[in-house]
Structure 1
């Protein structure tokens, strides 16, 4: 998308790679951040990278990503800064801590947080950045490491119309679909609910597969049939064919991260006193699975969890 959009910070920004917003920083160069950084480089942007783990950013220099030595360093030189971090606590340290983004960024920077995060923490971070004239968009992603590497992710965006419009050309380089769902925090609320549904789908589908198998129905034929009917869901369409039936269990998303996301969903439901018994039971089962499925295991291993009667 070409053209000019008004920034809420009183500046004008050209919405294309060759305009004012031409330098993009990425903090967190793991499975997701690395793919986004390389997609941005292919899209014609100058890309800066930082990761707390020694040597990670430097490994991407041969592929055109300029390594920076600190959060302060990358914050000073970026027009847009993408965060790809595991938890809200880490986001708060990176943004609000000593030498963090809030203390170091130039006025007019926009931060895009792709972390699956606590919406309350998100609003806190956004408010602190607003005080130093830095914009904020929460933009959690779906699609996994493959989606990040191939720029086919989906992003749900929370933020002002102006900030979202400003970063749209950059986000279009790293994702195939973007939905602006509301103000700051709305993106993270939406992603938490999405991941809760994924957790419910995996649990329910695993019960269906075990029941069918117990009465002699081939599980793979069952899933094929479900995918042609109204019972299809994300687990039957994607998880079982891609990672479960073939015993790969290598989606790149761990039990630890999924349990964290389900806990965030439970916190959200409790905060609004929701009447959600199915979700509550799913939350209980995901938490209980920690006794038999390790944090480092692929999150699809939940289908192997059979709770005690």
Structure 2
């Protein structure tokens, strides 16, 4: 495998697999890796070569893209026994597309810099379809030099790329994006519930809302494409959104901020676990009704 055009992709779920295929279309030699046998089999069926272990990726790839569920898994991959920090050669470019804890990202960035590893955090929005088409929105953090170096790979993954700031800025921005989406789903569902009780169906109302100032990405896209047609097939789970909302709430607490609306949204998503299983589509939060609201508790 020619190192200068080689990219490793660690995490071959719906997002990572789509990103690997987009990188292949862009002319990169891709080598995937995943602990899940099911993910590995799906990747191979899609035509993605799969490596034997982390050492092979560190040895053969100029760039490694991470598409993992949590910061804890990223940290273990880097700092654990036989991890990437011990295996990687100076000059490796690491792109982390995980929606992660910014504080952990900053801590890992120090260790990576000490090893001479270029690091860019670039969490994504756009779902599995966006990953497969190479049309993701990317929230990017990193130095100007590292982001410039990563530009060809990032361009193969996303059509809308925003360099927000230094390392961890991408992860902060993605948490804010997901917090807004989580909030809009809750407020839209309650607003439409109010309209329904007053005798107006959501279908009657939504076109007018989308032409007015009450519209959001949730009313423009999620409701018509995921909710009103009862498909709930975004590829993004309740568990993942609950994790992201919790990270946003924790970030506010760590910064010493008083964010009462954010606290309520966080509490709603947390309490939904009793009614909506982790594997359910995150849009199903619109069907969740708590018996007691925070204001009435």
Same fold flag (TM > 0.5): yes
Aligned mates of 1:56, 1:305 — CA distance in 2 = 31
In the other structure, the counterpart of 2:284 is 301
Tell me the equivalent position of 2:207: 224
2:72 aligned to which of 76, 82, 89: 89
Superposed displacement of residue 59, structure 1 = 4.3
> How far apart, CA to CA, are the structure 2 residues paired with 1:186 and 1:52?
29
The residue number in structure 2 matching 1:173 is 156
CA contact 2:3–2:60 (8 Å) conserved in 1: no
Q: How does 1:206-225 map to 2 (within 5 A)?
A: 206-225=189-208
Q: Distance in 1 between matches of 2:215 and 2:241?
A: 21
- Rounded to whole Å, the distance in 2 between the matches of 1:62 and 1:247 is 30
Instruction: Summarize deviations over 1:69-126 as a string: whole Å, max 9, x none.
Output: 1122212211110000000000011111112111111210010000000001111111
Residue 295 of structure 2 corresponds to none
User: 2:12 aligned with 1:29, yes or no?
Assistant: yes
1:114 aligns with 2:97: yes
Structure 1 residues not aligned, in runs of 5+: 1-18
Contact 2:12 2:43 in 1 (8 A): no
Number of the residue aligned with 1:192: 175
Which residue in 1 is equivalent to 2:265? 282
Offset, 1:40:
0.4
Partner of 2:36: 53
Alignment of 1:13-162 (within 5 A): 21-54=4-37, 56-57=39-40, 59-61=42-44, 63-162=46-145
Task: Give the TM-score taking structure 1 as reference length.
Answer: 0.91
Aligned counterparts of 1:56 and 1:109: Cα–Cα separation in 2: 25
TM-superposed deviation, 1:293: 1.0
Residue 66 (structure 1) shift: 2.1
* 1:57 and 1:68 in contact (8 A); partners too: no
Once the two structures are overlaid, the 10-residue window that deviates more, 81-90 or 235-244, is 235-244
User: CA offset at residue 207 of structure 1?
Assistant: 0.5
* TM-score (norm. length: structure 2): 0.95
Q: Which has more helix, going by share of residues?
A: 2
Give the secondary structure class of the aligned counterpart of 2:116.
coil
C-alpha displacement of 1:223: 1.3
- Residues 24 and 47 of structure 1 are in contact (CA less than 8 Å); yes or no, is this contact kept in structure 2? yes
Bigger drift between 41-50 and 65-74 goes to 65-74
Q: Residue 253 in 1 paired to residue 253 in 2?
A: no
- The CA distance in 1 between the partners of 2:34 and 2:168, in whole Å, is 25
SS in 2 for 1:128: helix
Match of 1:8 in 2: none
1:236 equivalent to 2:219? Answer yes
